[in-house]
Amino acid sequence: MQLKEINPINFRIYGTPVESVEGYEDAQQTIHDEDIRISSALWSYDEDILVQPVTGVGVMFVRAEDGIIQKFLFDRMAVIRAGVEFCILPYECRLSYRLYSRSERKVTPVTTVLSGTGFVPSLSIHTLYTVLFQEKDQHFTYHGDEYPFWEFLYIQKGQMACELDGQSFELKQGQMVFFPPHKLHKQKSEGDSPLTFLSITFDGEISHADILASRPVYADDDCQKIIQNILTEDKDGDICADDMIVCELTRLLITVLRNIHADSIVTRIPPRLRVTVDNSYINECINLVHQNITGSITLPWLAKQLSLSPSYLSSLFKQKVGRSISEYVRLVRLEKVKDMIAEGRYTIAQISDILGYCSPTYLSTEFKREYGISPKEYAKMIG
């Protein structure tokens, strides 16, 4: 997870960015000058505190309500609310900062090792061996081999019968698969049609390799565009073409992993709205809200989809989630407003129309009530 910026939107759950130490002049002031980049503990205070960077760059770790630890770039003053668990570490350099407090520090051990170091990719391609676009007749047979590297196959036309360590499956037109290293696999044409396919062999560090390996999946529009980019780079042979192929292949790996993951998680739910409950009706209700957020979502409509009475669904949702359905829908819709602003493709009026607000003015009023700034101010802040 990359560092977030300490701003009024991102940091509002934990505190507030400030421009001066006003109001904390009488607080106890301690200066921290640190070069230790690893910690296994978080801190908290019974009263609000203020932290002020002096030299260097730091990373602030903050525990969210759901237990997930968020990371913020500590490069500006901020007030941290009482009870919030956090710690500050140097980020690839020495760091000094002032901390203003009126209560004693409490230390809470954590099982996760917190480290003030940069991101190390969990997925990277070290070596690209071959990129082969092949056309075979209906009699094509490959008797198999065991490679010490990965092999990617994409079927453009025809069908291919595959065997991997004795397990057989078919690859149909538009499907692709990643064969892992050190696995014996065989291929042959299936049916009476010629076979056209792309084969790429490579080596590298692949995160979540267990769910990716030997799993036939269809190439969606995004994957097909990436595959076409690979073919174009291989054909044209421009400067750094192999480097571009590696970049595109990395994108393809990530896209496929996300598509596989999306089979169980249909939509991205903002962290503060992500809830897990022990009731299948409410989990399905939450999915319906996120899948249909650009449409009209009403309690009677949701109840009908779930074959429940509106009154029972309303009561059950409030009991399990802790807020009413209408409030939950309001918050999810506002998070969608943020996403659409960040895309930069829509005006506020267009967003208002797409998401069903009665007017852009009402959208702006709701947005400012929830986040403390207007949609235009938010657009400038993230732009």
d(CA 240, CA 62): 41
Domains 4-115 and 266-383 are alike in CATH topology = no
Query: What confidence score (pLDDT) does residue 204 get?
Result: 92
pTM of the predicted structure, to 2 decimals = 0.54
CATH architecture, domain defined by 4-115: Sandwich (2.60)
Query: Residue 307, Cβ neighbours under 10 Å: how many?
Result: 8
Q: Is 228 helix (H, G, I), strand (E, B) or coil?
A: helix
Query: Has residue 151 got a pLDDT over 90?
Result: yes
Residue 72 · residue 15 · CB < 8 Å: no
- Beta partners for residue 308, in sequence order: none
CA angle (293 as vertex; 289, 298 as ends), nearest 5:
60
d(CA 7, CA 63): 17
Q: 81: Cβ–Cβ under 8 A, 6 or more apart, which residues?
A: 14, 15, 48
Q: How far from each other are the two terminal CA atoms of the chain, in whole angstroms?
A: 20
Query: Residue 358, Cβ neighbours under 10 Å: how many?
Result: 8
CATH code of 266-383, in short, is: 1.10.10.60
CA angle (44 as vertex; 70, 89 as ends), nearest 5:
55
For domain 124-262, the CATH class is mainly beta
Query: Has residue 26 got a pLDDT over 80?
Result: yes
pLDDT tens readout for residues 243-300: 999 999 999 999 988 877 765 433 344 545 655 566 788 888 988 898 888 888 999 9
Q: For the chain, what is the mean pLDDT? A: 88
Query: What confidence score (pLDDT) does residue 65 get?
Result: 82
Query: What confidence score (pLDDT) does residue 265 get?
Result: 36
Average pLDDT in the 83-101 region? 93
Q: In what order do the strands lie in the sheet with 78-80?
A: 15-17, 78-80, 49-55, 95-101, 28-34
Domain-by-domain residue ranges, the chain? Answer: 4-115, 124-262, 266-383
Count of alpha carbons within 13 Å of 214, Cβ hemisphere only?
16
Q: Any idea what DSSP says for residue 213?
A: B
